[in-house]
Amino acid sequence: MRPITPTAIASSSKCLHSWYLDCFGNPEWKRKWEEGERLQLQRGLEYERKLISQLPGLVEPSWDGWDWQSGHDRTRSLMEEGHPWIYQGVLLNGHFRGKPDLLRKIDGSSNLGSYTYLPIEIKSHNQIIMKDRYQLVSSAMMLEPILGSIPTRGGVWLNTGEVADAELGKDTIVVAGLIEKMQEISGGKLKTESVRCGECRRCLWSTHCEDEWNSLDHVCLLYGISGKTAMRFKRAGLSSWKDVAVLTPQEISERTGLKMKSSISAFQHALARQTGRPVVRGDIRFIDDIPIYFYDIETYGHDVYLHGLIRIFGNEREDQQFIARDPSKEGDIWHQFLDYLSRDEKAIVYCWSDYERPFVKILKEKHGGNPKGLVHLETNLVDQCNWVQERFALPVKSYSIKSVAPYFGFHWDAEDAGGLNSEAWYKEWLETGDESTLEKILRYNLDDVRAMEEIDRALRKWILDHSSPLKISYDL
């Protein structure tokens, strides 16, 4: 039987189907790790190493990484010796196995004597989340045979530097129930199904699940209908978005118990899928009397190393990129970018999903800059994603630019295009100085702004071509 790990328990708490696929899925169905994900992992490990280097009396069990029993025996010996901190201790308990980031010795009573150990996880977020607690509970359960009882507390070393206390008592029952279900799944007694949820973006089974949803016209392909809401639709007999498209919003609300606003949105998105066309949801006015900019930045850690933009006014169209060949030039490219913007008295600047907005504030505080350029960013920076979403329901499951632009026929030059990957490429550029890597970044960034331009162009054209577009609006 497949061993259950704290990481698997934490993932299963969000999606049990990931455990089902871990047990029975073909490993070839898994997507590959992206370069950006590897970079994040590497950064996490570096951060972890930096933190633990401050710990006095830290020890780590030596083992070959394969023979878990010998790793466990070594860890038990270290605990019996009473070391204050144990890094990556190896724990085993029946079908469970895992390596908590740290075991911390504290005063107390256990099989070991007048001291005991607590599990501690190192995380790069700033507050304890449910998955952290479940991970800690799993480690606590594996400590039981050594300590004689399950620790009721654990800790999370947050990115604020604080080791936050986590009470584990209440979660123990939940985790025990979850483990029972996981055992039923691995024993072939329980079958789960794939339903889109918040974990899918990070999950390595995502391409496999997506193929399945597409083949079933699954209701979870509707924007806003995922996780528990999708299960609500299934329980109401609405397994496919096609079932939703033939109902009225009122009927959807009655059958699912969803509020009217969400039912209208589900209906509009189902209709968009059925017709393959955008459904107009609100009043539309495209700006054409002042210049518009499509704008996207690339970041490396906290630094902004690239501003990419396309300026459009009437028949004029110009693309521009300001890149820092090393992060210390962040201020220089910021000033160049603002000077470029300052040419227009009035302008609208579109970004996608508001990622740029907080950076504008930070860059202004750090570097100041041309007020005539800044004014456009401070008063007329518009989230294009939000703008589109408020006015159109599209046949997409998410309004990320990587979902919306392909619907309008736009595709990125780089197959592995993504913000995280561009960060990994920049790191590669800094290390190797390979110009082709820098060109790849520039192309990727320009494609991002071209994608925004294309969405705008396609929607303008679509409205012009459809003098009476499919408009569905309701007074709530």
- Compute the Cα dihedral for 71, 77, 80, 86 and give only its sign: negative
Q: Which is nearer to ligand SF4, 202 or 325 (CB)?
A: 202
The region of 51-59, 194-202, 281-289, 325-333 touching ligand SF4 under the rule CB under 6 A is 194-202
**182 is a contact residue toward ligand SF4 (CB under 6 A):** no
Report, in angstroms and rounded to the nearest whole number, the Rg of the chain calculated over CA atoms: 26
**316 vs 30: CA distance, rounded Å:** 45
Q: Which is nearer to ligand SF4, 167 or 211 (CB)?
A: 211
**323 vs 306: CA distance, rounded Å:** 4
**266 is a contact residue toward ligand SF4 (CB under 6 A):** no
Q: Select the residue interacting with ligand SF4 from 209, 245, 264, 441 (CB under 6 A).
A: 209
CB of 25 to ligand SF4, least distance (A): 8
End-to-end CA distance of the chain: 53
Name the residue type at position 293.
Answer: Y
Q: What residue number has its CB nearest to ligand SF4?
A: 203
Q: Which is nearer to ligand SF4, 199 or 447 (CB)?
A: 199
Name the residue type at position 93.
Answer: N
CB of 291 to ligand SF4, least distance (A): 42
CB of 388 to ligand SF4, least distance (A): 25
Q: Give the total of residues touching ligand SF4 (CB under 6 A).
A: 13
Q: Select the residue interacting with ligand SF4 from 197, 258, 270, 363 (CB under 6 A).
A: 197
CB of 24 to ligand SF4, least distance (A): 12
**315 vs 179: CA distance, rounded Å:** 63
Q: Which is nearer to ligand SF4, 25 or 331 (CB)?
A: 25
Give me the DSSP letters along 113-145: EEEEEEEEEE-SSSS--HHHHHHHHHHHHHHHH
**200 is a contact residue toward ligand SF4 (CB under 6 A):** yes
Question: What are the Cα distances from residue 243, in Å, to 110, 197, 267, 470?
Answer: 58, 20, 10, 20
Burial level of 193, CB count in 10 A (0-12/13-18/19+)? middle
**203 is a contact residue toward ligand SF4 (CB under 6 A):** yes
Q: Select the residue interacting with ligand SF4 from 7, 152, 206, 370 (CB under 6 A).
A: 206
CB of 327 to ligand SF4, least distance (A): 34
DSSP state of 25: S
Contact indicator for 136, 121 with CB cutoff of 8 Å: yes
Name the residue type at position 315.
Answer: N
DSSP state of 34: P
Tokens 């012009």: give the residue: 464
Residues 6+ apart with CB under 8 A from 222: 241, 244, 266, 269, 270, 273, 397
Binding mask 67-106 for ligand SF4 (x = CB under 6 A): ----------------------------------------
**205 is a contact residue toward ligand SF4 (CB under 6 A):** yes
Binding mask 16-55 for ligand SF4 (x = CB under 6 A): -xx--x----------------------------------
CB of 356 to ligand SF4, least distance (A): 29
Can you read off the two tokens belonging to residue 355?
């990622």
**238 is a contact residue toward ligand SF4 (CB under 6 A):** no
Contact indicator for 250, 263 with CB cutoff of 8 Å: yes
CB of 140 to ligand SF4, least distance (A): 25
Q: Select the residue interacting with ligand SF4 from 4, 8, 10, 15 (CB under 6 A).
A: 15
Q: Which is nearer to ligand SF4, 194 or 437 (CB)?
A: 194
**381 vs 283: CA distance, rounded Å:** 20
Q: Select the residue interacting with ligand SF4 from 194, 256, 299, 321 (CB under 6 A).
A: 194
**347 vs 373: CA distance, rounded Å:** 10
Length of the chain equals 476
The region of 42-50, 94-102, 198-206, 234-242 touching ligand SF4 under the rule CB under 6 A is 198-206
**268 is a contact residue toward ligand SF4 (CB under 6 A):** no
Residues lying near ligand SF4 in the complex (CB under 6 A) are found at 15, 17-18, 21, 194-195, 197, 199-200, 203, 205-206, 209
